[in-house]
Amino acid sequence: MRARNVRPMGLFMIACLLSGCANNPAPRAWRLAPAEAQRTARGGWIVLEPLKSSGGDPTGEPRIEGELIAADGDVFHILTASGLRSVLRDLPHRITVVGYRTASGALAGWAAAGAASTLSHGVYLIFTAPMWIISGFVAAHREGRAGVFHDDDVARLFARFPQGVPAGVNVEALGALVANPSAGPPR
């Protein structure tokens, strides 16, 4: 009977640990390590989803995603695959900005290893395994969302030009979004 209880607990643990790392909308090439994100001249990845003014439901219009160039007082400037888009900040929207990559996968791995190590605890496993599972799930879940923000004002911090587009800079000349940010210097 004990063997039957271990398998569901293991599956539950794996599902919990994996659920903390499934919510990053940025392409893999745009998920820079925190140290790299501080050194790059590129902006963070932004996703704007237009919402209806009443109720907060999506409008059905396509979402706008790409590199955040600037967040001026009233406009988001986003470099997309089709070129630069400027979106009014006053329009209802759901925002997601990815500033950097996190180590949630490593935390989940250590938590799984810690939970597996409780097999050597004998009967005390019923106390120590849940502690590893719960604390590992919470740590991986929180770390997985550490570089993802949903605030208009915080978005400005991850823009290529955090204080707005400088005078004399023609953002239209940026062209279209580069698929791989490490492919060379920003234009």
Could you tell me the pTM of the whole model?
0.67
pLDDT winner (highest mean) among 13-22, 60-69, 97-106: 60-69
Q: For residue 101, which of 165, 182, 176, 5 has the smallest C-alpha distance?
A: 182
Q: Please give the structure tokens belonging to residue 120.
A: 């050597």
pLDDT grade, residue 22 (50/70/90)? very low
**Nearest to 9, CA basis, from 173, 137, 179, 176:** 137
Q: Which of 165, 16, 151 is nearest to 84 (CA)?
A: 165
The per-residue pLDDT for 16 is 57
Integer Cα distance of 43 and 46 in angstroms = 9
Q: What is the DSSP string of 81-94?
A: TTEEEEEETTS-EE
Q: For the residues 36-58, what does the mean pLDDT come to?
A: 77
- Burial of residue 80, with CB atoms counted within 10 A of its CB: 0-12 exposed, 13-18 middle, 19 or more buried: middle
What is the tens place of the pLDDT at every residue in 79-101?
A: 888 888 888 888 888 888 888 87
**Residue 18: partners with Cβ closer than 8 Å, 6 or more residues away:** 108
Residues sharing a CB contact under 8 Å with residue 14, sequence separation 6 or more, in sequence order: 112
| Residue 84 φ/ψ, nearest 5 degrees | -80, 135
